[in-house]
């Protein structure tokens, strides 16, 4: 997402066309082609290995994204714990450890002024869904360095 376009809940997801569309479609086509070749020649060792390779590449493609998002969530968790330690009132600071990663990911888009009240609401109402938390943010602070 360009820094020129203000972020909001509706447009904050980052899609990389070359990864999410081009590479994915090529990968699906390759897996499909390998499978078709194996059906046409079921006992051909080369076709079996071609299909296994196609499946392995698909697994790598999937986990490359999962691992990057997991690393990003760990960084968000650290960032938000530090931010909450600075911004929360004293009665909420002991509860920082109660926030789930999903809650912290949702809260990260809230402005400093909005964060304490929103954090209290999320804890008191036990709102766990990150999208639900994000929808509560009124003063959206965009993040343009996302994976």
Domains of the chain by residue range: 9-136
What is the model's pLDDT at position 2?
54
Determine contact, residues 141/110, Cβ cutoff 8 Å. yes
| Residues of the chain below pLDDT 70 | 1-4, 11, 147
What is the model's pLDDT at position 10?
72
Distance CA 20, CA 47 (A): 27
What is the model's pLDDT at position 43?
83
What is the model's pLDDT at position 4?
67
For residue 5, the 8-state DSSP code is S
Determine contact, residues 133/99, Cβ cutoff 8 Å. no
pTM: predicted TM-score of the whole model, two decimal places: 0.76
What is the model's pLDDT at position 128?
95
What is the model's pLDDT at position 34?
94
């Amino acid at each position: 997402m360009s820094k020129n376009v203000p972020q909001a809940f509706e447009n904050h997801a980052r899609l990389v066309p070359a990864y999410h569309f081009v590479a994915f479609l090529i990968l699906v086509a390759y897996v499909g082609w390998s499978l078709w070749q194996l059906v046409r020649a079921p006992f051909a060792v080369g076709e079996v290995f071609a299909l296994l390779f196609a499946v392995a590449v698909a697994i790598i493609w999937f986990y490359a994204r999962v691992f990057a998002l997991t690393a990003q969530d760990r960084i968000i968790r650290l960032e938000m714990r530090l931010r909450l330690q600075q911004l929360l009132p004293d009665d909420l600071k002991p509860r920082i450890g109660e926030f789930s990663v999903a809650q912290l990911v949702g809260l990260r888009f809230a402005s400093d002024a909005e964060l304490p009240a929103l954090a209290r609401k999320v804890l008191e109402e036990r709102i766990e869904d990150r999208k639900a938390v994000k929808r509560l943010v009124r003063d959206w602070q965009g993040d343009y360095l996302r994976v």
